[in-house]
Amino acid sequence: MGKVTFMDHPLIRHKIGIIRNKNTGTKEFREIISEIAMLECYEATRNLPLKDVEIETPIAKTTVKELAGKKLAIVPILRAGIGMVSGMQALLPAAKVGHIGMYRDPETLKPVEYYCKLPADIEERDVFVVDPMLATGGSACDAISQLKKHGCRKISFLCIIAAPEGLERLQKEHPDVDIIIGEMDDHLNDDGYIVPGLGDAGDRIFGTK
Ligand code: PRP
Ligand code: URA
């Protein structure tokens, strides 16, 4: 069973408070989404393998730890997931980036895939799927299914706000995936928006409404 981590940390709780506020503008919203992604990335990479390396400090020879070179990929779900990429790349500059484009049909709330471009060797990589919002869970589940079709075996999903409905569905459909959540919200409204949530994450990141 994949692990579910709730980012119960004062910095993240403070930052999520700012992006929930409808008066927060696009620039600040975008910057904070990126900062939260960086903090979540720190947690998501907790178990990356290390290897011993012999070096010399100015004082003596010693053995230090170095990342063992596990190949990684960051895969944002378009559009809103793009807002989390810069924060992830700040900590994982060598990770390749793939993109999966999905929008929710406003009537059915079912995700429609319109784009998929992944690194050629994606099946060799540990993948971090990023999307600020886990609402019904449809977009995350379909994106992860797509990655599994491409041969990915080790997948983590990072979101900033989750609804109980989405978490339950994601755990049921992809029990092997590790999930990192900024904050858990109360429920979905009739239009499929997370309550209290932060509105439409894509529109707020890109200023399209
Ligand atoms: C939002 C969000 C997720 C999805 C979550 O994207 O970024 O991808 O909704 O909802 P779900 O869990 O019910 O699938 P949206 O479809 O609004 O597209 P956008 O990012 O292009 O605005
Ligand atoms: N997508 C969003 O951007 N916000 C929600 O509340 C639900 C889905």
pLDDT digit string, tens, across residues 176-207: 999 999 999 999 999 999 999 999 999 999 99
> Which pLDDT does position 168 carry in this prediction?
98
> Which pLDDT does position 106 carry in this prediction?
87
Q: Which residues contact 59 (CB under 8 A, 6 or more apart)?
A: none
Please list the ranges in the chain whose pLDDT falls under 70. none
> Which pLDDT does position 202 carry in this prediction?
97
The number of beta carbons lying within 10 Å of the beta carbon of residue 87 is 24
> Which pLDDT does position 61 carry in this prediction?
98
Q: What is the DSSP letter of 94?
A: T
User: Which of 108, 121, 153, 186 is the catalytic position?
Assistant: 108
- Residue 92, SS3? coil
> Which pLDDT does position 209 carry in this prediction?
87
Q: Which residues line ligand 2 (CB under 6 A)?
A: 80, 133, 135, 192-194, 197, 200-202
> Which pLDDT does position 1 carry in this prediction?
84
Angstrom distance (rounded) from CA 44 to CA 61:
32
> In terms of C-beta density within 10 A (0-12 exposed, 13-18 middle, 19 or more buried), how is residue 106 classed?
exposed
- Nearest ligand 2 atom to the CA of 194 is 6
CA-based max dimension of the chain? 67
Q: Which residues line ligand 1 (CB under 6 A)?
A: 77-80, 102-104, 109, 111, 131, 133-140, 166, 192, 200-202
178 is catalytic: no
108 is catalytic: yes
> Which pLDDT does position 92 carry in this prediction?
98
Backbone angles phi, psi at 43, to 5 degrees: -75, -40
The number of beta carbons lying within 10 Å of the beta carbon of residue 139 is 27
> Which pLDDT does position 24 carry in this prediction?
98
Task: Report if pTM > 0.85.
Answer: yes
